[in-house]
Amino acid sequence: MQRRAAAIYVAFFLVVGAASFSLIATASAPQLSFENPDHSLSEGESITVDGEEYLVQDISAETEEGELTRSGTLNTTNESARYAIEWANDSTVTYDGTDWTVSTDNESETFTLTEEIDRAAILQNDSDVENETTTVDGQEYVVERASGNESRELIPVDEYFPAPETREYAVGDEIENVENETVTVASVTTDAATLEYFAPETTEIAVSDEANVTVGSTTYFAHFPDNSTMVLTQEFETYDQYEEEVAMQTTMTNGLWGVSILSGLSAFFLLGLAYLPSRY
């Protein structure tokens, strides 16, 4: 009788465990879908938000350590974005292939570029003079090399080196080929001269799967149902409901696993007890 009763209970627990496991195996995961998304886009398609056009630049899917991650990129182009360049007072800038010293005049709203003379290069290229200047009684000179019995001649630097070129610009003037652009002098202060130009500017927006993204002044929930579609929607409550269903299924699955494992252990324990030798 003991073994018969044990066999009945073992069979009962095995049936319960198998039933729990079959429920786990056949249960389907909740699916995230939106009935009326604001936008369902493919690569190359665009939307208009706040009067600006946003293009789906790319949609990608990557698998890392067995986990699939989808993402995408939106971009928008401002055809007339303002760019500003500042030339600080007393700084050195390179323009038109030459180094210049910047001097600003706030009162007249002008600034002056003064060419920087490369004295070291000029001296090295002139075999008739020393490579370094010398100072005598506070005056700087270029030293001419001695020839034969002739003594060295001292040439004042202002006489030897060429006078630097100067260029003056006022607010409103245009300057060509500054960083490959034609710029306009926008303002001049004691601190700096500000140059500006207008050109297209592209802004990129990274879009992650199952995350919020702000496009213009509008916040959307982004979802990639497959490897080629980007869904933008404001049905946030649908995603909240989906998360609740996922959490509920996780709890149920964990419970069923517990039933399966406990049933199997119980059946094994009862089977062992049934075959223990009797003391009587």
Query: pLDDT tens, 230-244?
Result: 999 998 888 878 777
Backbone angles phi, psi at 247, to 5 degrees: -65, -40
Residue predicted with more confidence, 118 or 199: 199
CA atoms within 13 A on the CB side of 217: 2
- Tell me, yes or no, whether 191 lies in a domain: yes
Q: Over the Cα atoms of the chain, what is R_g?
A: 41
For residue 106, the enclosing domain spans 84-198
Buried b (16+ CB within 10 A) or exposed e, 46-55: ebebeeeebb
- Within this chain, do residues 110 and 187 fall inside the same structural domain, yes or no? yes
Chain-centroid distance, C-alpha 174: 34
What is the distance between the alpha carbons of residues 164 and 98, in angstroms, rounded to a whole number? 11
DSSP symbols for the chain: -HHHHHHHHHHHHHHHHHHHHHHHHHPPPP----SS-SEEE-TT-EEEETTEEEEEEEEEEEEETTEEEEEEEEEEEEEEEEEEEEEETT-EEEETTEEEEEEEETTTTEEEEEEPP-HHHHHHT-TTB-SS-EEETTEEEEEBPP-TTPPP-EEEHHHHSPPPPEEEEETT-EEEEETTEEEEEEEE-SSEEEEEEEEEEEEEEEEETTEEEEETTEEEEEEEEETTEEEEE--HHHHHHHHHHHHHHHHHHHHHHHHHHHHHHHHHHHHHHHTSPP--
Q: Are residues 143 and 189 in the same domain?
A: yes
Higher pLDDT, 223 or 10: 223
Domain membership flag for residue 223: no
Query: Is 142 in the same domain as 248?
Result: no
* Most confident range, picked from 135-144, 164-173, 265-274: 164-173
Question: How do residues 174-216 score in pLDDT, each as one tens digit?
Answer: 999 998 999 999 999 999 999 999 999 999 999 999 999 999 9
Q: What is the pLDDT of residue 27?
A: 57
- How confident is the model over 18-35, as a mean pLDDT? 65
Assess if residue 64 is contained within a domain: no
End residue of a domain, out of 198, 215, 244 = 198
Q: What pLDDT was estimated at residue 1?
A: 44
Quick count: other Cβ atoms within 10 Å of Cβ 169? 19
The predicted structure's pLDDT at residue 22: 63
Lowest mean pLDDT segment, chosen from 114-118, 133-137, 243-247: 243-247
Whether 167 and 270 share a structural domain: no
Query: pLDDT grade, residue 91 (50/70/90)?
Result: very high
Q: Are residues 148 and 88 in the same domain?
A: yes
Tokens of 65: 């350590």
For residues 190 and 243, state if they share a domain: no
pLDDT(9) > 90: no
The answer to whether residue 260 is domain-embedded is: yes
Whether 173 and 181 have beta carbons less than 8 Å apart is answered as no
Choose the final residue of a domain: 151, 175, 198.
Answer: 198
Domain count, the chain: 2
In a domain, 58, yes or no: no
Mean pLDDT of 14-41: 70
- Are 188 and 243 in the same domain? no
Q: What is the pLDDT of residue 190?
A: 95
Note whether residue 3 is domain-resident.
yes
Residues 249 and 205: their CA atoms lie apart, in Å, by: 34
What integer pLDDT is reported at residue 132 of this predicted model?
83
Let me know if residue 175 belongs to a domain.
yes
pTM comes to 0.62
Q: What pLDDT is recorded for position 72?
A: 96
Q: Of 173, 198, 223, which closes a domain?
A: 198
On average, the pLDDT of the chain sits at 84
In this structure, are residues 105 and 90 in contact, taking their beta carbons and an 8 Å threshold? no
Q: Judge contact between 115 and 168, C-beta under 8 A.
A: no
The verdict on residue 36 lying in a domain is: no
Res 248: pLDDT? 73
The share of the chain scoring above pLDDT 70, in percent, equals 75
Mean pLDDT check: name the lowest of 5-14, 51-60, 200-209, 217-226.
5-14
Supply the pLDDT for residue 142.
Answer: 85
Identify the band that residue 139 occupies on the pLDDT scale cut at 50, 70 and 90: confident
